[in-house]
């Protein structure tokens, strides 16, 4: 058995963490032969609740769980971790956009960036889940200048999973038969879920998804808006934001980053290098492949006029969010 690795989850007493911790501790993220030592960060008033979570983790009797450190101190939580799930932040309520959380949440990511910079390993892989995830990830990276910016990512995997699931249902195939759907841009209602390069296996043969669906209007309208608004639909139904599916997506994102994406593209928010004419230095979701612990943007895709408009709109929103976040972080 390998030596245990240290992994931190912030917001560890919250909803998403309640599903996520089990997945990490049971081997679904780092593999069935990799023990984990979990660092659990939450704020001081939540330490009582967190104690209950620690009890439950013990009661799961998981062979891969090598130890647990509950704490309210970021510098203790981030020490020596190889992976950081930054979940802890306020969730939105019905009627809000995710960027309405910016003023409340972005300071958390400034402070945690500073703590990561001080105590984390320089090869730590950071996944920001807390909303607005893209801009929080950018700020976290800015305040951790000693860690390469490639190590900071934001979660758009839930949007990808939603998109894949919608397409599979529409075509009538199991969800794993659909691959290479892309989420471009912001994890917000301006994101662009793009099925134009997706492929599906039907009856043993691979086909482009647009040909299998044969309904361009659906792919440009209903499909796009359903995925863009899925988070709001869950909030309207549950009166709380997605947690089970968010935890699953966070597991998928980190697993693929560590263990590789194989022959599939996955969508991740990464610091933009300007690929596809997007604004540089915002955290933009691109199609990537991952191998040996590194991600690489899929290049050479055709951008139609429709896609160009969608990419520009979501890029503009990210540039605006960035400015607002930098202003908030000044004081």
Ligand X SMILES: NC(=O)C1=CN([C@@H]2O[C@H](COP(=O)(O)OP(=O)(O)OC[C@H]3O[C@@H](n4cnc5c(N)ncnc54)[C@H](O)[C@@H]3O)[C@@H](O)[C@H]2O)C=CC1
Residues 213-272 that bind ligand X (CB under 6 A): 241-243, 246
Scanning the structure block, which residue is given the tokens 């590789």? 260
Closer of 244 and 298 to ligand X (Cβ): 244
* Cα→Cα distances 72→12, 76, 148, 208, Å: 10, 8, 26, 49
Give the one residue of 71, 105, 131, 136 binding ligand OAA; rule: CB under 6 A: 131
| 92 annotated as a binding-site residue | yes
46 lies in the site for ligand X, by CB under 6 A: yes
DSSP 276: G
207: helix, coil or strand? Answer: strand
Q: Which x/- pattern over 238-257 shows residues binding ligand OAA (rule: CB under 6 A)?
A: ---xx---x-----------
Catalytic residue check, 187: yes
Give the one residue of 113, 193, 231, 269 binding ligand OAA; rule: CB under 6 A: 231
Torsion of CA 125, 128, 134, 137, to 10 degrees: -60
DSSP 190: T
Give the span between the Cα atoms of 262 and 291, in whole angstroms: 8
Give the one residue of 47, 54, 90, 301 binding ligand X; rule: CB under 6 A: 90
Length of the chain measured in residues: 331
What is the closest distance, in whole angstroms, from the C-beta atom of residue 14 to ligand X in the complex?
A: 2
Q: Which x/- pattern over 22-51 shows residues binding ligand OAA (rule: CB under 6 A)?
A: ------------------------------
Q: By Cβ distance, which residue is nearest to ligand X? A: 14
* Cα→Cα distances 154→50, 145, 187, Å: 25, 17, 8
DSSP 248: H
| 131 annotated as a binding-site residue | yes
Please spell the DSSP secondary structure of 35-101, one letter per residue.
Answer: -EEEEEE--GGGHHHHHHHHHHHHHTT-TTEEEEEEES-HHHHTTT-SEEEE--SPPP-TT--GGGG
Partner from ligand OAA, ligand X, none contacting 234, C-beta within 5 to 8 A by type: ligand OAA
| 162 annotated as a binding-site residue | yes
First to last CA, the chain: 48
278 lies in the site for ligand X, by CB under 6 A: no
Residues 143-162 that bind ligand OAA (CB under 6 A): 158
Q: Which of 187, 230, 248, 322 is catalytic?
A: 187
234 lies in the site for ligand OAA, by CB under 6 A: yes
Give the one residue of 53, 129, 183, 199 binding ligand X; rule: CB under 6 A: 129
| 121 annotated as a binding-site residue | no
163 lies in the site for ligand OAA, by CB under 6 A: no
Asked if residue 137 lies in contact with residue 125, where contact means CB atoms within 8 angstroms, the answer is no
Give the span between the Cα atoms of 127 and 143, in whole angstroms: 15
- State the catalytic residues: 187
Q: Interface with ligand OAA by CB under 6 A: which residues?
A: 91-92, 98, 131, 158, 231-232, 234-235, 241-242, 246
Q: Interface with ligand X by CB under 6 A: which residues?
A: 10-11, 13-16, 41-43, 46, 87-92, 108, 129-131, 133, 155, 158, 187, 241-243, 246
């Amino acid at each position: 058995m390998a030596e245990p690795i240290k992994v931190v989850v912030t917001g560890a007493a919250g909803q998403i963490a309640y599903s996520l911790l089990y997945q990490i501790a049971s081997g679904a993220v780092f593999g069935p032969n990799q023990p984990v030592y979990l660092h659990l960060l939450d704020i001081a008033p939540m330490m009582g609740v967190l104690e209950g979570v620690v009890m439950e983790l013990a009661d799961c009797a998981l062979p891969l769980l090598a130890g647990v450190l509950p704490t309210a101190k970021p510098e203790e939580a981030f020490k020596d971790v190889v992976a950081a799930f930054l979940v802890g932040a306020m969730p939105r309520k019905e009627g809000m956009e995710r960027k309405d959380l910016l003023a409340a949440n972005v300071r958390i990511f400034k402070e945690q960036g500073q703590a990561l910079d001080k105590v984390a390993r320089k090869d730590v892989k950071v996944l920001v889940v807390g909303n607005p995830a893209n801009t929080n990830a950018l700020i976290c990276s800015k305040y951790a200048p000693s860690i390469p910016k490639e190590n900071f990512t934001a979660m758009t995997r839930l949007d990808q999973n939603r998109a894949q699931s919608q397409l599979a249902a529409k075509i009538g195939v199991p969800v794993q038969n659909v691959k290479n759907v892309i989420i471009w841009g912001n994890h917000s209602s301006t994101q662009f879920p793009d099925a134009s390069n997706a492929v599906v296996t039907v009856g043993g043969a691979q086909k482009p998804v647009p040909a299998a669906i044969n309904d361009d209007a659906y792919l440009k309208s209903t499909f796009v808006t359903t995925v863009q608004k899925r988070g709001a639909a869950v909030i309207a139904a549950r009166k709380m934001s997605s947690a089970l599916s968010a935890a699953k997506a966070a597991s998928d994102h980190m697993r693929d980053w560590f263990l590789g994406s194989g022959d599939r593209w996955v969508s991740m928010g990464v610091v933009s290098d300007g690929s596809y004419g997007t604004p540089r230095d915002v955290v933009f979701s691109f199609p990537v492949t991952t191998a040996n612990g590194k991600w690489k943007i899929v290049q050479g895709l055709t951008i139609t006029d429709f896609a160009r408009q969608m990419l520009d709109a979501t890029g503009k929103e990210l540039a605006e969010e960035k400015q607002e976040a930098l202003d908030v972080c000044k004081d």
